Amino acid sequence: MSNTSKMPRVNHSPVGEGAGGSWFGGSTETLGRATSETELVVRTGSSVGSFSSAFTMDADLRHPWSSGFPNNPPDDILTINIGGFQYQTRASTLARIPKSLLADPKRRDAFYDAGTKSYFFDRNRLAFDSILEYYRTGKIVQPTTVPIHVFVREMLFFDLGDEMIHKFLRAEELHDEPEILPTNKVQLLVYDLFNCPDSSIFARAIAIFDICMVLTAIIALCVISLQAFQDVVPVGDFGNETVQHRKFEYKVNAFSNPFFVVDVICNSWFIFDIVVRFAASPEKRLFFCNFMAIVDVLSITPFLEDVIVTATTNGRSSGPSINFLLAFRILRLFRVFKVLKMDDYSDGLKVLTQTLRSAKKELGIMVLFLVVGAIFFSTTMYYAERETTNTDYTSIPASFWWAVITWTTIGYGDIYPKTPGGKVVGCICAITGVLALGMIIPPVVRRFEHYFYRAQNMVELELVFREHYASRKSAKPGGLEGRYTKRTSSLKDFFAIT
């Protein structure tokens, strides 16, 4: 740099050693530029995947020397000792974040050591590298070797600002949007009972009962498909042969069927549950925009359809109106959505759904590769094998199945090429599939690791915020403590004696 006298200097060396100064990071970034970027990284020495975020924060570049800070003029070089390592920077650099610990002379002087003529902080050195870079450039980057809760603790200690920390955690996807709660006390109690299993022992009991109902419905859905529980209904006679197919139907006297009774009990609870949660919801217009609410509705739709069809047909199986109703039996496919209700209580399913939701771009690229590859290789294989006797590649659409299972490296072996040209195409298809999947899968795996350890990170962050604000005796209204700590149960508040 040509004009080094105007740039903040950083001397990074152990105390008592004459190590030379070094710059942290790369080129200088312009302050105040509103940019944001997120990249996936894996922390060194740990299997925990995380998002390392870098984003530019607005910093105040005005130098308030005329109105304050008489002891440190703009050109003063300050020595900061972090756990035995010395850093040197100008006071003007620290003043870019005026409300921080290092920018306030009165708060900073409490850590001044007259013997070493430096400000001594027994803090994490690797985290401070990034914090000092934030003073210089306005960009905060989490070191890959520093756990997220340790880095946040250091940012809180140096008081970089609640809003900056909040934006950093949002970029790291370690932030849950503030929960909209009912204002009515009774409505809030009901809301907690059916939506927050950890709020009270009664809410936990309701959650356990709901899990039992979901498991019972899933088991009944599987058992009902067994041949022993199906009726064989003749369709027509062709000579001496009766054409038959198996299907299960509720009889007119439906309550004599144990599966119908189980279905009634489980779905009655599901209907009651969704009605109560809708009544207790503070945002009723947005209630059914939630994915799990849609799953709840789809899971009870087959039951309602079966009840309507059974009550309407009354044992008859013909007629225009009856045939129209019977056509809706296709909705029974929605019963599989009962499995997704376990997402409310299974951390594993939550990790899976969060990973798929955040990896839409990667999965979209994979589907695009698959479609292009299937079309290309099925076309090539068709022309390579079409002259072969008894070929399985009778058309390009018929070759799609082979192209998909070969490109995804499954290869069932039910369809395979017989000519040398077809075998060459098959080899190229398999190698291309391996390369494409090898490029797409690692980012998805890192996202899975991030969400797998997210719950643990959120617990550690909650402890960090509780300790920080407990040491300060009080929290700022609307500060980070309320955003990242669990609220107390409304059940105690409801029955509290005032």
Quick one: angle between helices 258-280 and 201-223, nearest 10? 140
Side chain identity at 282, as an amino acid letter?
A: P
Read out DSSP for 350-377? HHHHHHHHHTHHHHHHHHHHHHHHHHHH
Q: How many CB atoms lie within 10 A of CB 92?
A: 19
Model confidence, pTM: 0.59
Cα separation, 8 vs 414, in Å, equals 69
Quick one: angle between helices 420-452 and 347-358, nearest 10? 120
Kindly give the pairing relationship between strand 85-90 and strand 77-82: antiparallel
Phi-psi region at 248: left, alpha or beta (left = phi > 0; alpha = psi -120 to 50):
beta
Mean pLDDT of the chain: 75
Supply angle C-alpha 38, 39, 41, rounded to 5: 140
- Name residues whose C-beta falls within 8 Å of residue 89's C-beta, 6 or more positions apart in sequence: 8, 9, 10, 77, 78, 80, 132, 135, 136
pLDDT tops 50 at residue 462: yes
pLDDT tops 80 at residue 386: yes
pLDDT tops 70 at residue 48: no
Chain centroid to Cα 43, Å, comes to 19
Name the helix (H) or strand (E) containing 51: strand 49-56
Per-residue pLDDT of 316-373, as tens digits, reads 555 555 556 556 656 666 767 777 767 667 777 788 888 888 888 999 999 999 999 9
2 against 299, higher pLDDT: 299
Q: Is the distance from CB of 143 to CB of 127 less than 8 angstroms?
A: yes
Per-residue pLDDT of 239-264, as tens digits, reads 555 555 544 444 444 567 788 888 88
CA-wise closest residue to 8 among 106, 111, 137, 126 = 137
Per-residue pLDDT of 145-202, as tens digits, reads 999 999 999 999 999 988 888 888 888 888 777 778 888 888 889 988 888 887 889 9
Whose tokens are 């400000």? That residue is 119
> How many CA atoms are closer than 13 Å to the CA of 156, on its beta-carbon side?
24
Percent of the chain with pLDDT strictly greater than 70: 69
CA-wise closest residue to 169 among 161, 181, 180, 157 = 161
3-state secondary structure of 39: strand
Read out DSSP for 198-254? TS-HHHHHHHHHHHHHHHHHHHHHHHTTSGGG-EEEEEEEETTEEEEEEE----SSG
The C-alpha R_g of the chain, in whole angstroms, comes to: 32
Token pair of 469 as six digits: 């604000």
Cα separation, 305 vs 496, in Å, equals 45
Q: Is the distance from CB of 256 to CB of 312 less than 8 angstroms?
A: no
